[in-house]
């Protein structure tokens, strides 16, 4: 009779996901969701798995600092053993409902299954020392190094944000990036209202509140909406609240011809169609053909017919469409993603200053190509989900210096009145910079330009 393999424990799955994210440079939310569905994990177990994976990824540098206090300098540790120790130290330091002995016992069992008796003994020894002595303190480190270790962000990024935003605001951003991301949904006004959706979800046992930044948003405080009928029926879309402001910023009207130059996977494209009452035409471009399929999947689920997709590099858009042919152009540009670190914690470890320079060049090329497609009197929105000034305000200022036919749209504040109420400091003439510390939404940059008539 074949030996039956025991099902993977929650901590075993967490270790596997942490290792995959690091080794394969994988997208942690996607891996996590796939694992939860594959193993049919529900309730508290799903919540614990999510907490463990995100908690360790968010605090990678902090956990490494703690571990160094219990191993010899330059001691070689296999990656999976290091991640197992990170996982265990995270539970000992940050979680208080799991007994210490249970954490150690589970870690030793995982070490035995994956490795050998020697590794299990090493893991046991390290963790018992952590319990006995407590983790080392980072308080005496110089300020930038302390913030780097305390909030687990690379030193170069900490110093950059201190330079951009000042120490107090930079620390608030660092802290916010380690908080759980909120879940928000956009209500499809062509089919329903926020109040109707809210009532249905609450009746089904969910905790739901109104968004603070977007008039289209609901915040899901408890419950899972992706399997709910309101999602399947196209009454809502899952989208970050800050991201919803982009559609409002573009000032679209029914009957317009609109270009969404970097559209995949289609959340903002669909929002534009909804705001246009699905009257007019939206050309949605994406470099990758599989993403144009995702755009159409969204459009079909929501019952939208005004969206047309093309697999095309936005840097070539001016070769594909006639000059000055669009009433509105949206460039939700590829970026470093530093505004969505709490959703994708691995970003902060995989990006570098060189990445910022490289992606800024791509952004500039897209802006230059798409600018000629805007009609005189038409509007162009440039947005990113990052908070880096080189990719944001400095990028647009450099564009305006080379394109005197464009100017800031000083009516943007009128369309984003909810932002002005929530955080007037974030809103300037023609652009806003939302930080992760400003609200439950992502960090986002949104600017609007007008082509002079």
Angle in degrees, CA 146, 150, 154, rounded to 5: 75
Give DSSP secondary structure letters for 46-70.
HHHHHHHHHHHHHTHHHHHHHHHTT
In this structure, the strands spanning 374-384 and 326-332 are parallel
Give the bridge partners for 204, in sequence order. none
User: Which residues form the catalytic set?
Assistant: 385
Q: Evaluate whether 45 touches 62 at the Cβ level (below 8 Å).
A: no
Phi and psi at residue 4, in whole multiples of 5°? -80, 135
Rounded Cα–Cα distance for residues 419 and 142 (Å): 36
Structure tokens at 184: 């928000």
Phi and psi at residue 403, in whole multiples of 5°? -130, 80
Angle in degrees, CA 167, 168, 171, rounded to 5: 80
Distance of CA 130 to the CA centre of its chain: 33
Structure tokens at 268: 């903002």
Largest CA distance in the chain: 81
Q: Evaluate whether 243 touches 184 at the Cβ level (below 8 Å).
A: no
Q: Evaluate whether 257 touches 327 at the Cβ level (below 8 Å).
A: yes
Looking at 211-289, which runs of residues are DSSP E strands?
Answer: 217-222, 236-238, 256-260, 280-286
Helices (H) and strands (E) in the chain, counts: 21, 12
Rounded Cα–Cα distance for residues 343 and 241 (Å): 13
Rounded Cα–Cα distance for residues 273 and 304 (Å): 7
Q: Evaluate whether 248 touches 416 at the Cβ level (below 8 Å).
A: yes
Distance of CA 292 to the CA centre of its chain: 20
For residue 229, cis peptide bond before it (omega within 30 degrees of 0): no
3-state secondary structure of 286: strand
The total number of residues written for the chain in this structure: 453
Looking at 357-411, which runs of residues are DSSP E strands?
Answer: 374-384, 406-408
3-state secondary structure of 327: strand
């Amino acid at each position: 009779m074949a030996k039956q393999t025991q099902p993977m424990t929650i901590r075993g799955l967490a270790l596997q996901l942490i290792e995959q994210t690091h080794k394969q440079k994988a997208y942690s939310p996607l891996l996590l969701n796939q694992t939860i569905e594959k193993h049919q994990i529900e309730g508290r177990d799903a919540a614990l798995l999510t907490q463990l994976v995100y908690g360790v990824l968010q605090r990678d540098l902090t956990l490494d600092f703690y571990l160094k206090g219990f191993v010899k300098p330059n001691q070689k540790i296999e990656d999976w053993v290091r991640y197992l120790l990170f996982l265990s130290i995270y539970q000992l330091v940050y979680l208080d409902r799991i007994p210490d002995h249970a954490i150690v016992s589970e870690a030793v069992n995982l070490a035995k299954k994956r490795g050998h008796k020697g590794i299990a003994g090493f893991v046991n020894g390290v963790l018992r020392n952590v319990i006995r002595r407590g983790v080392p303190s980072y308080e005496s480190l110089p300020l930038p190094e302390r913030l780097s270790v305390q909030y687990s962000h690379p030193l170069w990024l900490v110093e950059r944000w201190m330079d951009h935003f000042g120490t107090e605001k930079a620390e608030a951003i660092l802290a916010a990036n380690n908080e759980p991301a909120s879940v928000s949904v956009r209500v499809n006004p062509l089919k329903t209202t926020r109040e109707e959706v809210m009532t249905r979800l609450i009746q089904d046992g969910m905790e739901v509140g109104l968004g603070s930044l977007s008039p289209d948003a609901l915040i899901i405080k408890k419950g899972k909406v992706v399997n709910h009928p309101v999602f399947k029926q196209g009454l809502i879309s899952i989208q970050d609240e800050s991201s919803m402001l982009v559609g409002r910023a573009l000032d679209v009207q029914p009957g317009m011809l609109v270009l969404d130059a970097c559209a995949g996977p289609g959340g903002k494209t669909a929002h534009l169609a909804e705001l246009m009452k699905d009257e007019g035409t939206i050309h949605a471009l994406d470099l990758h053909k599989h993403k144009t399929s995702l755009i159409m999947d969204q459009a079909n689920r929501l019952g939208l017919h005004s969206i047309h997709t093309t697999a095309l590099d936005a840097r070539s858009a001016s070769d594909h469409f006639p000059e000055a042919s669009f009433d509105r152009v949206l460039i939700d540009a590829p970026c470093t993603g530093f505004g969505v670190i709490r959703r994708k914690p691995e970003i902060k470890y995989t990006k570098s200053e060189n990445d910022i320079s490289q992606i800024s060049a791509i952004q500039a090329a897209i802006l230059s190509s798409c600018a000629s497609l805007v009609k005189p009197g038409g509007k162009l929105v440039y947005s990113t989900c990052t908070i880096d000034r080189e990719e944001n305000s400095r990028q647009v200022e450099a564009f305006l210096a080379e394109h005197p036919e464009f100017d800031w749209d000083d009516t943007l504040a009128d369309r984003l009145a909810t932002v002005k109420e929530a955080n007037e400091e974030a809103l300037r003439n023609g652009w806003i910079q939302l930080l992760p510390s400003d609200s439950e939404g992502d960090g986002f940059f949104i600017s609007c330009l007008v082509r002079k008539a």
